[in-house]
Amino acid sequence: MSDEKKVVIQTDDLTRVYQIGGTTLHALRGVNLAVYEGDFLALMGASGSGKSTLLSLLGLLDRATSGKYFLEGVDVSSLTRNQLADIRGRRIGFVFQNFNLLPRFSAWENVALPLAYRRGELDVDTQRKLAMNSLSRVGLDLRAGHQPMELSGGERQRVAIARALVSHPAVILADEPTGNLDSATGREIMNLLKELHAEGKTIIMVTHDLSIARHASRICTMRDGILTEGEPTYVAS
Amino acid sequence: MSLRDLLRTAWRGVSTNTLRAVLTMLGIIIGVASVIAMLALGNGARAAVDARFRSLGSNQVQIGGTMTFDDGEFTQAGEILSYEDGLLMPDGVELVGSVDMSLGGSGKARFGRVTVDTPISGVTANALERVLSSGEVQPVNRSEDEAFTVDDFLAGGRFFSSSEVLDGASVCVLSWETANDLFGGDDPVGQTIWVNRGRCEVIGVIAELEMVNESQRYYANPNLGVYMPISTVIDLLYEDEPSVFITAYVTDESRMDEAKAQIREFLRERHSIEPDADGEYADDFNLTTRSDVLGQQQEAANTFSVLLAAMAIVSLVVGGIGIMNVMLVSVTERTREVGVRMAVGARSVDIVLQFLLEAVLISIGGGALGVVVGILSIPLAASLNQGMALLEPGSIPLALFVSVIVGVLFGIYPAVRAARLDPIEALRYE
């Protein structure tokens, strides 16, 4: 662990157990992970390996059954629902496989959404200005007034990335960001993520595609609820 | 989220499916409109009763004959309430100081070649004072704040005297329009006209009058008719002696119940009414005082209120359930949206407020449309209720307030359900 690099995410023995009917499902069996500022981490694993569960925990959408999770040095396991929502809005940017933009809201309104949920800090003009900055970062400032229906898949994902960037989060969590895109558009999105990484952004990306994962600076693999550093061994490289 | 953002979001939600929102409003629209219309009916009825009984002083007992419905027509039950009953009442009843009597009818009045059909009122000598004191009419083009005397109500001549009433004198006083119809602008005083088959001398003309209440001016004309002594009218218009209408003036206002008992006893004796086996009297007359009227009015108003409340509650509950249903559908449809909002930092209260505001927008929209529909339906309601419907101004804020309450009450459950969604499940929802 290098001293000059700031730890953004650190988990100690994180577990997540689901009770479904009478069966007990151990989705995470003691995950220890440290993510440093500027990391571009690809999280790989087969479906059911627990990578989505881990991403939900890291994104504060879910709580661990046991273990500790420090986000920027803060132990988040004891925070209230509302405090978690507040941290999600300010410190975490989500990018989803299916974009998850609000229909009937223009691109800039979608990008401004995390700002709108900050308690009375930003007026609409400021929200719009910050959203426009973020949109121009992904090259879509000219499409700011368009609704998601009027945008291509790649454009939608770039709007979603702009939304993730708008609050200058500590970490961007991307769940299969190219999963719904053709390979050419997927490459565009990966190039954009690499650019962001080059600018110093911290990114954690879930993918099952090794060729996508190799764009990242670091790869971890989940298997049966256990996280290991490195590419999955069962995939021929 | 700021209120402005919340409102914009809620509005976006409602306007996305305008037809659905308007259909959902229908229950609220009907509920609120009926509340407005019904309150207007109640208000109008109350105003009409007030106007009709304003002339009934607190020391007066109105006495009328009882009618029964027999073989398809109304007939007098028992003995008539006779002119003689009235004449003898002040002497026969300790607490009654004086009486007025009146008798309404219609007939033909003729002067020269001109004949008009006209109402004919048989009255006693102070009838004009009673019209004056009722405060319902006033001479035209005068301010309603003025204090009028009997002379202000006369355009010429005089009203008949008590002795002329007792003697059955052949005299009459004409209303303004009737005088003009018969005499075409000439002075009628001193002329002799025919009323049905009897002659009478015109001794006075009443000034042109108008209703004090402007809304009543369209359907009430106080300027038609011939006033004659009641005894003269009985002789002139009727073959059999008719029932009259008596107003008894009680000398001591604090003993109205006692006075009514005395009048009852007096009339039972004159009409030979004996108690039946149960000690009940089958009276052929009835007595009305101001407190009786107020009591009945109160009772009617209360019955009306209960009906109205029941109708309002039913339609508003139905409307509210409609809103709840649509909001539940809306929450389900937008599960993913809820997940996204939670992921980008929405707290539970933000989600609750968003959906609650949407429900309230629908209900208040329904309330506003309901107010409009209600106001537009007042003339219709009035035509079904003898012109008695008057917008109750307080019903508008009341209706809007109630519709907001309905929106909150029925919107809270879907909103809370949305806020309780698990963000992970919501984001995965297809």
Nearest to A89 among B12, B339, B344 (CB): B344
Same domain assignment for residues B249 and B369: no
Q: Which of B273, B288, B303 is the last residue of a domain?
A: B288
The domain in which residue B71 lies consists of 57-288
Chain B residues within an 8 Å CB radius of A81: 347-348
Say if residues B371 and B399 touch (Cβ distance below 8 Å). yes
Same domain assignment for residues B274 and B327: no
Note the pLDDT tens digit of each residue in B155-184.
888 888 888 888 888 999 999 999 999 998
Same domain assignment for residues B165 and B26: no
Same domain assignment for residues B21 and B106: no
Task: Compute the half-sphere exposure of residue B92: CA atoms within 13 Å on the CB side of its CA.
Answer: 19
What's the whole-number mean pLDDT along residues A208-217? Answer: 91
User: What CA–CA distance (Å, rounded) separates B209 from B177?
Assistant: 10
pLDDT band at A1 (very low <50, low <70, confident <90, very high): very low
A166, closest residue in chain B (CA to CA): B344
Give the residues across from A80 on adjacent strands.
none
Joined tokens for residue B108: 């033909």
Tell me which of A57-66, A160-169, A194-203, B77-86 is least confident: B77-86
Same domain assignment for residues B327 and B390: yes
B427, closest residue in chain A (CA to CA): A100
Which one of A79, A84, A102 would you mutate to disrupt binding with B, by most B Cβ within 10 Å of its Cβ? A102
Give me the pLDDT at residue B274, please: 85
Same domain assignment for residues B45 and B72: no
Residue pointed to by tokens 């009917």: A21
Amino acid code (one letter) for A126: T
- Cβ within 8 Å, pair A61-B423: yes
The pTM score is 0.70
What's the whole-number mean pLDDT along residues A58-74? Answer: 93
- CA B81, B85, B89, B92 dihedral sign is negative
- What ipTM score was computed for the predicted complex, to two decimals? 0.93
Same domain assignment for residues B309 and B193: no
Residues in chain A, overall count: 237
pLDDT band at A237 (very low <50, low <70, confident <90, very high): very low
Higher pLDDT, B220 or A203: A203
One CATH from 3.40.50.11310, 3.30.300.20, 3.20.20.70, 3.40.50.300 for A39-59+81-219: 3.40.50.300
What's the whole-number mean pLDDT along residues A34-62? Answer: 92
Question: In this structure, how many other beta carbons lie within 10 angstroms of the beta carbon of residue A96?
Answer: 23
- CA B412, B417, B420, B422 dihedral sign is negative
Say if residues B134 and B277 touch (Cβ distance below 8 Å). no
- Cβ within 8 Å, pair A89-B4: no
Chain A residues within an 8 Å CB radius of B341: 113, 117
Q: Which of B288, B321, B353 is the last residue of a domain?
A: B288
- Cβ within 8 Å, pair B343-A100: yes
Check whether A17 has a pLDDT greater than 60.
yes
Check whether A194 has a pLDDT greater than 90.
yes
Classify strands B171-174 and B198-206 as parallel, antiparallel or unpaired.
parallel
Least Cα separation, residue B351 to chain A (angstroms): 10
Same domain assignment for residues B143 and B221: yes
User: What CA–CA distance (Å, rounded) separates B39 from B28?
Assistant: 16
User: What CA–CA distance (Å, rounded) separates B21 from B164?
Assistant: 74
Chain A residues within an 8 Å CB radius of B340: 100-102, 113
Give the residues across from B247 on adjacent strands.
B62, B100
Check whether A172 has a pLDDT greater than 80.
yes
The answer for residues whose C-beta is within 8 angstroms of residue A25's C-beta and 6 or more apart is A17, A18, A19
* Residues in chain B, pLDDT under 70: 48-55, 74, 144, 215-216, 218-219, 297-298, 300-302, 304-305, 308-309, 384-388
Same domain assignment for residues B116 and B64: yes
Domain residue ranges of chain A, discontinuous segments joined by +: 39-59+81-219
A124, closest residue in chain B (CA to CA): B5
Count up the domains in chain B and report the number: 2
Note the pLDDT tens digit of each residue in B99-150.
989 888 888 899 988 899 998 989 988 887 877 777 778 888 777 677 788 8
Joined tokens for residue B285: 């007359």
Angle between helices B348-376 and B290-333 (to 10 degrees): 140
Residues of chain A with pLDDT > 70, as a percent, come to 96
Q: Which of B269, B288, B307 is the last residue of a domain?
A: B288
Least Cα separation, residue B328 to chain A (angstroms): 19
Same domain assignment for residues B325 and B406: yes
- Cβ within 8 Å, pair B343-A61: yes
Note the pLDDT tens digit of each residue in A110-159.
999 999 888 767 888 899 999 999 999 999 989 999 999 999 999 999 99
Note the pLDDT tens digit of each residue in B233-256.
888 888 888 888 898 989 988 888
Same domain assignment for residues B262 and B114: yes
Tell me which residue of B122, B221, B211 sits closest to B164, measured CA to CA.
B122
Note the pLDDT tens digit of each residue in A20-41.
888 998 999 999 999 999 999 9
Q: What is the mean pLDDT of chain A?
A: 90
